[in-house]
Chain A
Amino acid sequence: MEVLPEVDCEEDVTITDDEEDDDEESSLSNIRITPTVTHIAKPRPQVALSKCPSSYKENSSQEKLMAAMAENFRQQYALLYPDRKALLLCPVNECSVQKFVSTTLRSTLLPYPELYDWEGCASFVADYLSLELLDPPFELPKQLSSPTWVLQTQRGTCFDFSIVLCSLLLGAGYNAYCVSGYATKEMCLLDQSRQECPLLQPQIQDKTEEPKKPMKKYSVKPPRDLHSNFERRQEEKQQAEAEAATLKKQLDAERLQKERERPPPDPLRGLRVHCWVLLLSGNREIPENFFIDPLTGKSYSTTDENFLGIESVWNHQNYWVNKQDCTFGCNEMTFDLGDLSKWEYVLCGQSLSIISDPKTLEEPEDEEEEEMDELKVFEMPPSWVTTIDISPADMEMRYPGGMKVIEYRKAKLEKFAPYLLKDGLVTKLTTYKDLDCTKASTIKEWFKHRSDHLDERELHTDSNVTTEHFRPGRSDALKYHRYVTLVPETERQMDFYSHIRTDGLARRIEKPFEMTETFENRTDFLFYRNAVYGKQIKVIRAGEALEQRPLQRVEERFHRDHSKPASKDVAERIFVVSDRRIQVTFHLEDDRIIPAWLNFIKPKEAADSQKAQAFTPQMVSGFQVDPSTKPYTNLQLYEMLVELMREEENVELHIRDSEKEVRSILSSREKEDSNTDLLISIYNPTRNEMARLHMEEKERMAKEKKQRQKEKELDLLAPSQVRLGLPEVLTSQDALQLKTDCLNEFKQQLFNKASLIQSRIEKETEELQKKQLWYQKNYLTMSNEDEDDYLAYCSDAMFRIHVLKMRLIRHKERAPQKYLALEEKLKRHPRLASHFL
């Protein structure tokens, strides 16, 4: 009968669990709903230092040894190079404990595919953290926090940035180092306002020039050129001169412009401390050494002029001090860390030989010595930092507070986490006409997860033209839309995903009095239709007056239909509605240069007073390429004309349909823009409410089922039954006895529990009284410390007694209920139920 309370306990536990879940989710949803507008990082709940693991708060023996060695190194270094600045060797961490910098690196590979290569890592670090400037800018930081701390607070100095990035890169298998040195002001202050925005740089197009066709053996010679060579050369010369002049002017103007934009010289140039990451070639198919600036996530060549000097580099295994001259920047630095004349190491050891010592391979005798050495070698202690972990939610939020603003030269880039903004905006790039960024010239926005599939929108403020790109998936198959206003019958261009549309429409260009449509892959080979309108007039149709523009001229063009002979295959037909004429041009026959055509004049329809005009051969004129072919008979011509007149009506219907479609697209676009939903993937459990509820429901069901199973297995009667020695099949006498026995036992247990609690209370009280007595006796001679102890004990004991009393009360309250519950349960027990019905 011990099991019952256990069940109760578990129930309690599950309830609290659920509550916690709910809390978390509600906080998540809060984050989603309320986007922070300011750029200032949202103050994260400060992580209590006391929660840090012990390795953060104290040094192991190895680490102490390492610190001592570092101190030794520092002293020697200060002695040898009194002019040079102190090195960053053992700064304190967030718990104010000195740690060697190499042990602060914690190589980690996170389970996000985008962090598997250096570009992804660098841009992630640049996006995820916000910068705290060094103060003063020419001093090393006094504190170097652990990567976990930095990632939690999402803020740090350039050193913190580098440590995090280097940890990720090492985890991804790169040969990465942190570099402590000096850089330009722009670099240190993360000032990109003089750089072009990378999104604006023209994408380098793959120039896949068509391989020049090999000169074929029998290619015809071009006709002889009868122009004077001399004249041509003179002309060329003149042109070249003019070009050179304009080019020079342009260059001058550019130079002037640059001169004007140049920043004032930096008084601290060369003194500003910076920290960045060095990637050495070799691992992961890196062909050449290069730097990564962790603040921007961009890569630079090792000779870049932004980097002014290097003091030291380190990875998780060793620390090297630069002995090369950096007066003229890093231009001539070599990064062969094994070269003792250029780099001084702190720990001699295996890491050196790994990085570069080809000699060991060549001289086998040395190997033994090396091994001997290695035995003595002191290895870098393992990192004191716990594993770096980033939650998927944080990964998705990416920027501190979900957004980030970067200012470039004449441009401002704003980035947002997906789902942060209601309209699905993820990136917004504003370019300006002036350096002060006051007059916007274009605004380009990128969206994600929008239900209207809008992907990109660009607005040119000068011409007021908006262009929009859509991803596939819209019911109207719209792909691209360029417009000034969303009013119909104005200038616009719409492109469509033609393969989705039944009419194969690829593009529709509208001008105030013209509409041109192009088609692709139609079965009737139509590929072009152009309609010209006249002035708007009132049309009365179906009893209501409509404003409609009358058609004046419609032109249609067709591709060649090879199932028909060329001279019967229509290439172009023009309906001149205003003139009552129809022109048909046929395709060119093979080896012909002039197509056949026919011009029809439409006979007049029957009017009130007149009869319909009869068809006469004079209504048709045309040209036949081959005079020897049989001319059309009048019947054929008449049938053609009838067919064309019917087509004319169809074409008009098509055009009116197109107009209607344009209007419907425009109105739906307007609606969509004012009220956008975001699409949520069914694989996104945190956002998809339905999926989440469904999953929770499923989990709950599974849990309940499990519990029921457990209850089922639990036979309340078994112990009593065994004790009473009763058979499997019970008589009603036995059953009654069994029941009372069972109940009695439970009662006894409840009672026992109550008495147990009672006895504990008594015991506690007794002890407390004893202590009080003791205190009363000795309180005069007691030291302050003892007194404090005593007081602490007292309050503790009082608390314990209080808890026990509460428990007793609760137990007493619940005991009768529990008893009744058991009784009920026994009544319904399968083996007893039959006897108590």
Chain B
Amino acid sequence: MNWQQDEPKVIDEEMLKQAIEEQGPQGQAGDISKKEGIQYEDVLQLRLDYRNILKIFHLWHFTSLTKLQLDNNVIERIEGLENLTNLVWLDLSFNNIQVIEGLEALVKLQDLSLFNNRISVIENLDTLQNLHILSFGNNAIAQLENVLYLRKFKHLRTLNLAGNPICEEESYKTFVTAYLPDLVYLDYRLLDEQTRETANTKYKYAVEAMQQNELQEQQAMEAQKISNEELQLHKDAFVEFLNGPQLFDSMFDEDPDGEKLALLPGMEALLESYPCKMEALCVQIFDAGLTQHAQRTAEVESFFTCSHEAVADNRQKAAQIAADFESSRRQKIVEMQQITDVELLEDNISSCQEQASQLSETLMSLELQLVDQLEDIFKDFERNISDMVGGFIEYVHTFAQCRDLENQHHEQQLEIALATLEKVVKNELEEEIPDDMAMVSGKHIDCYKDTVTNAVSASHDTHLLKIDNREDELLTRINSWMSGLLKSIHDEEVKRNRKRVSEIRNYVSYVKDELEDMRMSEHH
């Protein structure tokens, strides 16, 4: 082949067709496949080597491809491979690739060869966690640090870096061995114990430090995961952030008036006892929420196990009936094929048809029975779960106590504010006073009084709003959860029922068609 004289090409239909036909089934199978035409989606392996390809194109149809060879071409960019998510083996050796890219979607990839390219940095491979074999030989990798990037591939066993500038370095082999301890083969050779030992002694501390860091990161991740899970649990119970002062804090966060009022003398004591009480109430709701959540989960689980059991039971019975019928039917057909008398055959066929109708009836009644049973327990479940949710909602009215607490707080605050005002007016207060109050001290007393009252009630309104919002959120979410759950159960059941009914109809019609065919053939 004189591919060197050819023009650089882009992958096109014709090339693909030719390759598939060449590489597809041979002999009788080949004839059949040619007659039928080959679907690109079914092709599992494809070889496109020595074709002077410059640009990868037209490959998006090959969704079930597992092995793709594009070696010995003039490809400059890795592209157009996004749809080939089932790829296990990808060969891009002997090309002109400079940057690793476009491989993010190929998560099943185990064997990747980029031998003899122009790559200088190992990168963009983070998602390819299943890599076993990796070949970067004859490239332009010059930095030993590139090897560290490969530490994240836990399954990597074979690595080829031969022919890169880094191989010139004296410590190349020991470095790689030390930092990739799971590696078995490096540059066509088995890593022996001795190399490992020297590598370990040489880089012991560096590797250990690195491992330590990685371990810490992992632990942090795990801790994060655990806390996330916990939060998710709280969210599922609809009581997240109620196990502490978060609600109280949020009440005061967006409350500029409250901040100022907090500076009033006497407010300190008030502000000290208030959060404690508030928090106690919140925690009460929180605990109740968690226990109720556990109860609800148990209830849901018990419902699902029971309904699954019933379905499985019913399915087994129906399957048995169907299997019995099928085996008797096959025997019948064999018998009928022996019969030559037309009338007798006719009798037989009609009796078979009758039996088929009977089977359909039996299976349908079994299915109907199951539907009834499931409907019964679904009703029970619906009632119970709505009772539970109702109970929880009632409990949630503890928020009313929060509101009471807030009202109380408001009154006390107002009292303190007015008392302070009196003092200010009488100039009895020598202590430092909030700025804006001092500012207004000269103004008319009534005007000032209004301001203070406004500030206090504004703060109060903000607080109340926060509490109301939280309560509303909780109620809406739990209600939507319940309705969603019930709806999904119902939908599932309907879907299952449809599926079964259509299955039975399909089978029975198949059986009847067969019988009809037999009758027809007999008549002709």
Contact = CB atoms under 8 A, between A and B. Distances in A.
Interface of A: 216-221, 223, 588, 591-595, 614-615, 623, 625-627, 633-635, 638-639, 642
29 contacts: A216-B306, A217-B302, A217-B306, A217-B380, A218-B302, A218-B303, A218-B305, A218-B377, A220-B310, A220-B373, A220-B374, A221-B373, A588-B319, A591-B500, A592-B503, A593-B315, A593-B318, A593-B319, A593-B321, A593-B363, A593-B500, A594-B319, A594-B322, A594-B504, A633-B36, A635-B29, A635-B33, A638-B29, A642-B29
Contacts of B500: 591, 593
B36 A634 contact: yes
Interface of B: 25, 28-29, 32-33, 35-36, 39, 42, 299, 302-303, 305-307, 309-311, 315, 318-319, 321-323, 326, 363, 369-370, 373-374, 376-377, 380-381, 496, 499-500, 503-504, 506-507, 510
Nearest to A627: B506
Contacts of B377: 218-220
A615 B28 contact: yes
Nearest to A583: B330
Contact of B32 (A216, A220, A591, A634): A634
A627 B305 CA distance: 30
A635 B25 contact: yes
B336 to A, nearest CB: 15
Q: Is the interface of A mostly helix, strand, loop or mixed?
A: loop
A593 to B, nearest CB: 4
Contacts of A625: 503, 506-507
A664 B39 CA distance: 52
A593 B503 contact: yes
Given A216-B302, A615-B32, A221 B376 contact: yes
A220 B507 contact: no
Contact of A218 (B42, B307, B496): B307
A623 B507 CA distance: 8
B302 to A, nearest CB: 5
Contact of B507 (A218, A588, A594): A594
B45 to A, nearest CB: 15
A5 to B, nearest CB: 66
A593 B33 CA distance: 33
Contacts of B496: 591
Contacts of A638: 28-29, 32
Given A614-B28, A615-B32, A220 B503 contact: no
Given A220-B374, A221-B376, A593 B32 contact: no
Contact of B29 (A216, A220, A626, A639): A639
Contacts of A594: 319, 322, 326, 503-504, 507
Contacts of A623: 507, 510
Given A218-B303, A220-B310, A623-B507, A591 B499 contact: yes
Contact of B322 (A221, A593, A627): A593
A602 B373 CA distance: 47
Contacts of A216: 302, 305-306
Contacts of A588: 319
A519 B508 CA distance: 35
B475 to A, nearest CB: 27
Contacts of A635: 25, 29, 32-33, 36
A170 B32 CA distance: 91
A634 B25 CA distance: 12
Contacts of A627: 506
Contacts of A639: 25, 29
A217 B319 CA distance: 27
A559 to B, nearest CB: 16
B369 A218 contact: no
A79 to B, nearest CB: 84
Contacts of A595: 323
Contacts of A221: 373, 376
Contacts of B363: 593
A220 B311 CA distance: 10
A218 B380 contact: yes
Contacts of B370: 220
A508 to B, nearest CB: 25
Nearest to B316: A593
Nearest to A574: B330
A217 B385 CA distance: 13
A322 B318 CA distance: 75
B296 to A, nearest CB: 13
Contacts of B323: 595
B306 A218 contact: yes
Given A221-B376, A594-B319, A614-B28, 16 more contacts: A217-B302, A217-B306, A218-B302, A218-B305, A218-B306, A219-B310, A220-B310, A220-B377, A588-B319, A593-B321, A623-B507, A626-B503, A638-B28, A638-B29, A639-B29, A642-B29
A252 to B, nearest CB: 45
Contacts of A220: 306-307, 310, 370, 373-374, 376-377
A561 to B, nearest CB: 19
A591 B28 contact: no
A593 B377 CA distance: 23
Contacts of B25: 635, 639
B378 to A, nearest CB: 9
A597 to B, nearest CB: 8
A84 to B, nearest CB: 75
Contacts of B376: 220-221
A90 B233 CA distance: 87
Contacts of A591: 311, 315, 496, 499-500
Nearest to A635: B33
A831 to B, nearest CB: 56
B500 to A, nearest CB: 7
A615 B370 CA distance: 45
A829 to B, nearest CB: 57
B366 to A, nearest CB: 9
Contact of B369 (A223, A593, A614, A633): A223
Lowest 7 CB-CB distances: which A-B pairs, in order? Answer: A218-B306, A220-B373, A593-B318, A220-B310, A593-B319, A218-B377, A635-B33
B127 to A, nearest CB: 23
B131 to A, nearest CB: 21
A216 B302 CA distance: 7
Given A591-B496, A592-B503, A218 B33 contact: no
Contacts of B380: 217-218
